[in-house]
Amino acid sequence: MLVVSDTTPITTLLAIQRCELLQQLYSEIIISETVRDELLRHHPDLPSFLKVKAVRDRRALKKFAKDVHPGEAEAIVLAVECGADLLLIDDLAGRRAAKKQGLEITGLVGVIANAKAESLIPSVREVFEQIERKTRFYMTESLMEKALRIANEN
């Protein structure tokens, strides 16, 4: 499975020391140069399963950069260029733009739900609590409740 990621899912999992979940679920993840640079501002070392690839289509990048942040714009364009099976992205504007491109998307909450479904973690709630304590990641109460319901942790 070819997976491209934006910054947020990776940096959040790095902050709670659970980034291995990405490797266990997807083996290898492609990130853009901007995403790499954003990650390196807060994390001195990046996992070896992250592979950096340059975006080629500068015209498409300019188009997306009008509506989303540079990291999200590069992730979307890179996912299109690579023919990615999945794009990991959380920003709402970025998710909308990715869907318009026909990309399959999920975000951090989806990654955590998948980790539970694959028996990689015992509890979605426990991971959400770690995220809440250690990061600035925001998720709505309704999204959290939906994920807990899907994971049979309501």
pLDDT in tens, 115-152: 999 999 999 999 999 999 999 998 888 988 988 988 88
- In angstroms, rounded to a whole number, what is the distance separating the alpha carbons of residues 19 and 10? 7
What's this model's pTM, rounded to 2 decimal places?
0.94
pLDDT at 143: 87
Both tokens of residue 138?
Answer: 């925001």
pLDDT at 138: 87
Residue positions counted in the chain: 154
Residue ranges of domains in the chain, CATH in brackets: 1-154 (3.40.50.1010)
What is the mean pLDDT of the segment spanning 108-112? 95
Per-residue model confidence as pLDDT tens digits over 4-60: 999 999 999 999 999 999 999 999 999 999 999 999 999 999 999 999 999 999 999
DSSP 2-59: -EEE-HHHHHHHHHTT-THHHHHHHS-EEE-HHHHHHHHTT-SS--TTEEE-----HH
pLDDT at 97: 95
**Closest alpha carbon to 148 in 123, 111, 115:** 123
- In angstroms, rounded to a whole number, what is the distance separating the alpha carbons of residues 73 and 80? 11
Tell me the CA distances in angstroms from 138 to 8, 13, 65, 98, 102, one per residue in order. Answer: 11, 13, 23, 20, 26
